[in-house]
């Protein structure tokens, strides 16, 4: 089954692995549509496909932009990708669950985030989550966090041990390599 998909839609290879932008499948700039296979439709969160998975209401309080977003996300789709499919702009960077750009604090509800490597188990237990790799398991309300704030919560104890002594010899060696 082939259907037409707008050219600004990003193709995602699999729902749980690396999500890469696929723009080389667009044939020309003047013709802004391309054929999309049914397997792409199933994998792509940007294209609306009837899903048998339960759907949950997600409310995101975006502190940086002072905006509240409400949208619905199936349990088998990432929150960030579904938001983007509905033209909702949320903070993100890596899309792989490795950084803290899309970090949120859960106010109510639950989500599943097995691929969230960017935050520790300790922070997850305190209610922090990553939207790029988060699947809702109930209606959920979250609040965006400052990336530096979450990074500090995660790694601050390692860096906050006082001033670091400068090693001029190591610095000279490092500069010599450039």
- Assign 70 to helix, strand or coil: strand
Residues in the chain: 178
In tens, the pLDDT along 21-52 reads 333 333 333 333 333 333 333 343 443 445 78
pLDDT band at 172 (very low <50, low <70, confident <90, very high): confident
Phi, psi for 166 (deg, rounded to 5): -80, 130
**CATH architecture for the domain at 55-159:** Roll (3.10)
- Judge if pTM exceeds 0.85: no
In tens, the pLDDT along 149-160 reads 888 888 876 766
Rounded to an integer, what distance in angstroms lies between the CA atom of residue 154 and that of residue 142?
Answer: 19
pLDDT band at 68 (very low <50, low <70, confident <90, very high): very high
Phi, psi for 175 (deg, rounded to 5): -70, -30
pLDDT band at 175 (very low <50, low <70, confident <90, very high): confident
Sequence spans of domains, the chain: 2-43, 55-159
Q: Could you tell me which residue, 90 or 22, shows the higher pLDDT?
A: 90
How far, in whole angstroms, is CA 50 from its chain's centroid? Answer: 22
> Got the DSSP string for 103-163?
EEEEEES-EE-TT--SS-HHHHHTTEEEGGG-EESS-EEEEE--HHHHHHHHHHHHH-SSP
Residues 6+ apart with CB under 8 A from 104: 60, 128, 129, 130, 131, 142, 143, 144, 145
pLDDT at 129: 97
Q: Could you tell me which residue, 45 or 53, shows the higher pLDDT?
A: 53
**Which pair of structure tokens corresponds to residue 119?**
């935050």
In 3D space, the residue among 160, 150, 91 whose CA is nearest the CA of residue 120 turns out to be: 150
In the block, residue with structure tokens 């922090």: 128
pLDDT at 73: 97
Q: Could you tell me which residue, 168 or 95, shows the higher pLDDT?
A: 95
To the nearest 10°, the Cα dihedral for 56, 17, 90, 86? -60
pLDDT at 155: 81
In tens, the pLDDT along 122-145 reads 999 999 999 999 999 999 999 999
Mean of the per-residue pLDDT values for the chain? 74
């Amino acid at each position: 089954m082939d259907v037409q998909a707008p050219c600004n839609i990003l193709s995602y290879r699999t729902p749980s692995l690396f999500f890469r932008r696929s723009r080389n499948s667009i044939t020309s700039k003047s013709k802004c549509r391309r054929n999309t296979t049914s397997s792409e439709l199933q994998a792509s969160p940007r294209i609306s496909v009837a899903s048998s998975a339960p759907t949950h209401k997600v409310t995101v309080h975006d502190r940086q932009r002072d905006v509240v977003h409400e949208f619905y996300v199936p349990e088998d789709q990432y929150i960030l990708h579904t938001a983007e499919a509905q033209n909702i702009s949320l903070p993100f960077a890596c899309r792989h669950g490795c950084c803290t750009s899309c970090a949120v604090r859960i106010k109510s509800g639950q989500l599943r985030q097995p691929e969230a490597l960017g935050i520790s188990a300790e922070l997850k237990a305190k209610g922090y989550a990553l939207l790029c790799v988060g699947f809702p398991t109930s209606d959920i309300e979250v609040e965006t966090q400052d990336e530096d704030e979450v990074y500090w919560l995660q790694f601050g104890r390692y860096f906050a041990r006082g001033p670091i002594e400068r090693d001029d010899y190591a610095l000279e060696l490092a500069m010599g390599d450039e």
